[in-house]
Amino acid sequence: MANDLIINVTPYEIRAALIENGVITELFSERDRKKGFVGNIYKGRVLRVLPGMQAAFVDIGQDRAAFLYVSDIYREEWKDYELFLNDEDEDKAYPQKPFEQGNESDSENGLFHYMFSNKEIPQEMHIEDLLKEGQEILVQVTKDPLGTKGPRVTMHTSLPGRHLVYMPTVNHVGVSRRIIEEKERDRLKNIIEDIKPPNSGFIVRTVSKGKWEKDLQADMDYLINLWEDIKIREEHADAPTLLHMDLNLTLRLIRDIFTPEIDRLVIDSRDEYERVLTFVETFLPKLRNQVFLYEKDEPIFDAYHVEVQIGEALRRKVWLKSGGYIVIDEAEALTAIDVNTGKFVGQRNLEDTILKTNLEAVKEIVYQLRLRNIGGIIIIDFIDMEKKDNRDNVYNALVEELKNDRAQSNILAISDLGLVEMTRKRTRESILQTLCEPCPYCDGKGHVKSSQTMCYEIFRQIQRECHGLKGQKIVLNLHPDIASLIYSQEHDSLERLEKECGKTIIIKTRYDFHIEQYEITSY
């Protein structure tokens, strides 16, 4: 089946859906009033240096200060040394710890080990020795604000192009891990090493597979000129100020994921369609015939059944075909996913039923992670399996399924309790965080007190206050559901309370009250 990239454009929002083999695998959204910052480059000013956290707050001109770790600091004198990166994944277009050397780094106490010119040189790097309050620095956003946290920034700038990622602060050449043929990796690496300027870094992206020097040279020249323009603007700008804004969602998607594997790019705005054509004809002329304008009356997301998928992506419970289900709970620090057999009873024995449910859940979990763009720490609670071989089968299936995910992930083996701990790279908010906000009724708790609980809470409050209230009548204003419960089930309790207080209690219903809201007065 065809792989399509569907883009819906309105004056206030751009939405996109990646459809692979007829299934929507990723959703993207960018609103005009809430554009992401990832990839933007700023001239910022250091607000506070925090030695205890080995980090600093940087003013970049946004509502919240940006957060800069010591491992993301760059000094010009470091550029003369060759830096050996252990991460050559093209998705790390905005590296967070480019100096970190696998097991050789220790972020506690600001101690880091670097590898310069094939020699490991430990250097004790304390942020208070590298940055001062009021200092102006060039930073790039690597993570958008999430929840109460401000954006994450780095001083190691990365500029992604179509074929290459340019890293002006390092001396390194890498090739995307997704290019697995060693001969092709060596060929591409040799081309870049021959044509790149001294003391500059590049990562060859997956789309460069099979490309020749002229294609890579054109991309390299564009990125180098872009960086030089940014540096010129930095010299004449006052902090805090925006120096470079990344492309809008449409053009970013075309740059990053519109490849020959995408059969069609369909867009419903003629103005945006013309801009896309100009971009494609300039950078991707061979894909020109894969761009289409959608002109039907039916909304494009309805025609491709995307709206229904968005609604399903917001549900907490997801049913499996067998009758089992998974429950997804997103918290600020982590996401918990619980697997249950539900209606599925199996045919042979319990262990086989559990194994089949867990294996089915693996595919659905990875699909939901991509669809909902869930990142950060993820805990998966599979149904307990007695046999180690079964636990290994589920773990291996999860590892294999994650290979189709563009986002980088790290996964630990299933514990004896059936838990899997994993992380998935997160640079933007999930679909739930983008499209929703905490419920104003339950205040984000997900639950409200029951009518019975509220009834008894009100009775106890009347007992506390009744003798201090003037007058012989107590007026109780409350939600209609609580009033109905008192009249139908707690009438005897109300009479006993009146005798205890020596006063008459008058109940008034208030339809504008929250179910947990009440008011006690007297006259």
Check whether residue 300 and residue 174 sit in a common domain.
no
pLDDT band at 124 (very low <50, low <70, confident <90, very high): low
Contacts of 76 (CB under 8 A, 6+ apart): none
Residue 487 placed within a domain: yes
Q: Tell me how many domains the chain contains.
A: 4
pLDDT band at 468 (very low <50, low <70, confident <90, very high): confident
Q: Which residue is listed with tokens 């945006």?
A: 272
Instruction: Answer yes or no: is pLDDT of 369 > 70.
Output: yes
Contacts of 327 (CB under 8 A, 6+ apart): 316, 317, 318, 337, 338, 340
Residue 51 placed within a domain: yes
Amino acid 435: pLDDT:
86
pLDDT tens profile 326-345: 999 998 789 999 999 887 76
Domain boundary among 283, 308, 333: 308
pTM as predicted: 0.73
pLDDT tens profile 80-93: 554 444 444 444 43
- Short-list 164, 148, 14, CA closest to 88: 164
Instruction: Answer yes or no: is pLDDT of 117 > 80.
Output: no
Kindly state the percentage of the chain with pLDDT values over 70. Answer: 89
pLDDT tens profile 170-189: 888 999 888 889 999 999 99
Residue 442 placed within a domain: no
Residue 441 placed within a domain: no
Check whether residue 257 and residue 362 sit in a common domain.
no
Instruction: Answer yes or no: is pLDDT of 118 > 60.
Output: no
Check whether residue 78 and residue 212 sit in a common domain.
yes
Better-scored residue on pLDDT, 125 or 508: 508
- Short-list 313, 432, 423, CA closest to 364: 313
Cis check: omega of the bond before 240, within 30 degrees of 0 = yes
Amino acid 1: pLDDT:
63
pLDDT band at 98 (very low <50, low <70, confident <90, very high): very low
- The CATH number for 116's domain is 2.40.50.140
Check whether residue 141 and residue 99 sit in a common domain.
yes
Check whether residue 195 and residue 322 sit in a common domain.
no
Amino acid 33: pLDDT:
67
Instruction: Answer yes or no: is pLDDT of 109 > 50.
Output: no
Check whether residue 134 and residue 153 sit in a common domain.
yes
Check whether residue 86 and residue 170 sit in a common domain.
yes
Better-scored residue on pLDDT, 108 or 286: 286
CB atoms within 10 A of CB 55: 21
Residue 445 placed within a domain: no
Amino acid 165: pLDDT:
94
Check whether residue 151 and residue 274 sit in a common domain.
no
pLDDT tens profile 410-450: 999 898 788 999 999 876 788 888 888 888 888 878 889 99
3-state secondary structure of 424: strand
Residue 194 placed within a domain: yes
Domain boundary among 188, 219, 244: 244
Domain boundary among 196, 226, 244: 244
Instruction: Answer yes or no: is pLDDT of 469 > 70.
Output: yes
pLDDT tens profile 291-315: 999 999 999 999 998 988 888 888 9
pLDDT band at 77 (very low <50, low <70, confident <90, very high): low
Amino acid 427: pLDDT:
67
Q: What is the mean pLDDT of the chain?
A: 86
- The CATH number for 468's domain is 3.40.1260.20
Residue 15 placed within a domain: yes
Check whether residue 385 and residue 462 sit in a common domain.
no
Check whether residue 86 and residue 157 sit in a common domain.
yes
Residue 444 placed within a domain: no
Q: Which residue is listed with tokens 């030695």?
A: 51
Instruction: Kindly provide the b/e burial profile for residues 429-452, where b requires at least 16 CB atoms within 10 angstroms of the residue's own CB.
Output: bbbbbbeeeeeeeeeeeeeeeebe
Chain-centroid distance, C-alpha 336 = 15
Instruction: Answer yes or no: is pLDDT of 97 > 60.
Output: no
Check whether residue 18 and residue 132 sit in a common domain.
no
Domain with 471, as residue range(s), is 451-522
Q: What value does the mean pLDDT take over residues 390-404?
A: 93
- The CATH number for 302's domain is 3.30.420.60
Check whether residue 130 and residue 162 sit in a common domain.
yes
Cβ atoms of 455 and 490 closer than 8 Å: yes
